[in-house]
Structure 1
Amino acid sequence: MEEIEFYIDAAKETMDGALKHLAIELSKIRAGKATPSMLDGIQVDYYGMMTPLTGAASISTPDARTILVKPFEKKMIQECEKAIRNSNIGLSPMNDGENIRLNIPPLTEERRRELVKRVKGEIETAKINVRNVRQDANNNIKKLKNDGASEDAIKEGEERIQQLTNSYIAKVESTFADKEKDIMSV
């Protein structure tokens, strides 16, 4: 019984990881609103060393359509601008000598639908990950039969894994509904 609890706890942790990964991936899909996280992953050449943009500049959103990047040192503005331009995030930086402004254009209906398709792809990946965790946990629990675990304990463990899976799939679908609403709202 103790081993079954171990596998259930391990499955829960891994499913939590899948949800966290989904949240990270969905945060990269912009819904027409400016967020500093849109610039996550951009590396800037900071005195010969590749550094995250947040390590070379402060990033803020003065309004819903603008991201403001303020380099910590004035001479780094060109490097920050170059890193943003080369990052393929689809935004054109505007340099005023002290700050870099990124204007987020409003999304067209067609672009919103494309974004929802991308979100659906991420959602499907998350569901597959959760189901794979279920399968692994069930396989590990079934192996306990050879170690003397009762069939009732194994069946109960599998049922608990299925309940856990159902709850995580519901969380994933809820995340999709929220993100879709966010993208489709004008």
Structure 2
Amino acid sequence: MQATDKALPVIARNIDRSIWRDLMLKSGMLSLMDAEARNQWAKDLDEGDLPAISKANILSTFKQLHHNKQDVFERGIINVFKGLSWDYKTNNPCYFSKRIIVNNLVKHDRWGYSLNWGWRRDQLADLERMLYLLDGKTIPDNRHDVSIRFMDFVRDNPHQQVFEDDLFTIRYFQKGSGHITFKRLD
């Protein structure tokens, strides 16, 4: 009897964790989070620090994410610029110039290029989100954001070095850096 008392809360927490993970992935709500918020969400899921599944908790969480999206986007873009190397004169901490240079965006080996998965991928998505927000456009779902399109392009064209998108062009190099040139400066 005692083992059941200990097992039931663990089972319930694991079920809640799985449901929250599916809800966030399938609802597109992750697109309202910047890299920092997504990392915190993943940490909370792993540590079990999350609300129990209920209609009220789901609605409250989704409303809070939607309400805080402006602050989250601003933090995301600030973190993108904090992550830039100031060794390049095109990287200006005070304003967008025509181009920024990002280190460790891709890796190159004998098979060609591949996208570095992780925080650079998240920062690229944060940059796209901010540009969409500034344009007043609908933010792309995280399952179809620029990082996914860029990853698909690099995977399908491992020896190419230029990726074109609606918002910017990314030229990437063997040392791993990427030159992101904005198509519009307004």
The TM-score by the shorter chain falls in which range?
A: under 0.3
Larger radius of gyration: 1
Higher relative contact order (CA 8 A, sep 6+): 1
Q: Which TM-score applies when normalising by structure 1?
A: 0.28
Q: More helix by proportion, 1 or 2?
A: 1
